[in-house]
Structure 1
Amino acid sequence: MKRIALLWNVVKGDLRVLWFALRQPGRPGWLMPATALVALYALAPFNIALPLVGVVDDGILVPLVLHLLVRCLPMDLRRAGRV
């Protein structure tokens, strides 16, 4: 249960940084399409067809990709979003 809480804290922080970066005019050009693709993947109809596989898949892959997106951001956007 502690691992799930830790994962949730990391995801919350990554989402906060990503939300901040998306609202900045100096964001990288790849950020908006990449975020849209992750959102579409998380909401894909495949999750409805196979609920257990979809939940496990979203619980592992989506947080990892979100963390990767945040790690690929320029350092100034990451630092400003963490404050």
Structure 2
Amino acid sequence: MWKLGRLLSVFRKELRLAWAVLRDPRAPKAAKLATVLAALYVVSPVDFVSDFIPVLGWLDDGVIAYLLLQLAFKFLPPELLATLRARVGQRSPGKATP
């Protein structure tokens, strides 16, 4: 059970990192585009595997979104990625950022 909790914690950090990419003016447009495409794929009714298939449909959304986010992070300069990861890592989940 603790593995699921750890997975959810990592997932939350990745989502906060994606949000930071969208908000940072130094992030390249390609990184922002890949992040937006990941979000659009999750909410889109068009999928590789239909969401009516209970587990496979959700896994499909998660894997494609995860791969698009990893692509977005590869577009970032290494120092910007490190800065954003540090900012996201030190923030607690319940607190708003200034």
TM-score by length of 2: 0.63
Q: CA 1:49–1:16 in structure 2 vs 1: closer, same or farther (change >3 Å)? A: closer
Percent identity for Structure 1 against Structure 2: 33
- The question of 1:27 aligning with 2:30 is answered no
Q: Is the 8 A contact 2:30 2:75 kept in 1?
A: no
Moved over 3 A (4+): 46-49
Corresponding residue for 2:79? 76
Report the count of equivalent residues.
83
Q: Is the 8 A contact 2:42 2:62 kept in 1?
A: no
Q: What is the CA distance between 1:42 and its match in structure 2?
A: 0.5
State which structure, 1 or 2, has the greater radius of gyration over its C-alpha atoms: 2
Runs of 5+ unmatched residues, structure 2: 88-98
Q: What is the CA distance between 1:71 and its match in structure 2?
A: 4.2
Higher helix share: 1
Q: Taking CA–CA contacts closer than 8 Å with sequence separation of 6 or more, which of the two structures ends up with the larger relative contact order?
A: 1
Paired residue for 1:63, among 60, 63, 66?
A: 66
Provide the aligned C-alpha RMSD in A: 2.4
